[in-house]
Structure 1
Amino acid sequence: MTHSQPQLRTVDVTRYVKPLREGGSLPAIVEADDNFLYVLKFRGAGQGVKALIAELIAGEIARILGLRVPEIVFATLDEAFGRTEPDEEIQDLLRASEGLNLALHYLSGAITFDALVTNVEPKLASQIVWLDCLITNVDRTARNTNMLMWHKELWLIDHGAAFYFHHSWPNVEEQARRPFAQVKDHVLLPQATALDEVDAEYRGLLTPERIRAIVALIPDEWLLGDSPFATTEEHRQAYIQFLEVRLASSEIFVKAAQHARKALI
């Protein structure tokens, strides 16, 4: 499997279509200047740019691993949108999100994944569980699967809750070596019987060069402001350090996932 250097397009939002009110941060369906619809994640929402950074890194890692993720783009929001929106809550969100945001291609007609309806084969289940353990994604439970069925294929969405440690930036290396305790609630854990096989395969795919290329995509302006780091380069290096250390010690979260699965079944 070969992968080119990751690149993200930039689009300009031209029309606010409707909010997706099932999300706590009020993402919205918008149209862009390329005439495509996108699910826009706002920098002015509750978790701010950290959720956008998590979405970006997690989504592009998933893509390198061969998992299906909607195309991710940078989306520029003009200040004019906040002037015409009648809903005050949405108006405030639009005004707080002027400038560069993140959006994912809208999968029109997709339906929410239901584990009771769709059976996921063990290799794919193991791949998704392994990814979520790597990125510490707490949001793939039976209650909130954050997966869609589109054209009979499984697509991963909504990774803004991943890398939760970056909201306080404790010791990065210590965090990277921790097992992922929340895996016990993962919707696909019962089917994840091929974690050792996936671990060997995925560790080979996620090279240091690929990790650095993904982290390099983060816009400088998202790394400024509320940051404990002196420079944007130090901030980027912290993400790189977390991922490289976590990959090097992946047997810790793999074994924890296997133990959680045995306890579950």
Structure 2
Amino acid sequence: MVEEVREIFCKGILSRSGIGSVEYSINPFTGCSHGCAYCYARFMLRYARTKQPWGKFVHVKINAPTVLMKEIKRKKLGTVLLSSVCDPYQELEKRYELTRKILQVISKYNNFKVDILTKSDLIIRDLDILKKMRNVEVGFSISHFDEEFRRIFEPGAPSVERRFEALNTLAKNGIDTYVFVAPVIPLITERDVEGIVEGAERGNARYLFFDTLNIKCGNWKPIIAGLEKYEPEIVEEFVEVMEEPESYYRQLKARILKKCDSIDCSFTF
């Protein structure tokens, strides 16, 4: 439950990105109501000027669409990621419709590619805009199938079932989709990896992208606390794996590749 909602004004919104093939990122919010225990974006706490912990605050950039209208005219073409440090379709998007307004702006400049990454089926609301865009793809972040795990580790996010349903709806409407298996959580994701791959295939996703768990952003304590609630008997083994995770990820990659015979899979490990 978010305890602090603050409306703020941003000076810029179309930011240069250091992520691979992505030139720009847009984050309509600072903070995220999904409150994922493992989230790497909690480093944003140092910029948020709040006393609330990660997942308990959201600052809404209410002038983001207006700022974008001015910025996008001056920018070179490139790929725009929505979003890199928040979910663009978190709960407050229902009220503020910032992401929807941002997409309306970008849709007027159809030579920009848009990559939307979310855990929310709220994106279906904007299907009318997405269908008009020339170059857009949508990724759903899914790293497990267990509703109890979601309740503890992703308390503000929609169920995985709803994510797969939204993915399928988008694909049926001609929108390119993919499954972002991130983070790959040792000892947890491996239980559901076959199901995730099969779900992506059934949902007509174009590919899956697997990424490792980032523990360099202040999320170690929340992860361990979550595991102690969820399955305390694996905590010791989890800690051991994360001391030298390379071997674990290498073996898991080999297992995944055996399953990915009819869909493309990419890895950061």
TM normalised by structure 2 equals: 0.34
| Higher-RCO chain (CA-CA 8 Å, sequence separation at least 6) | 1
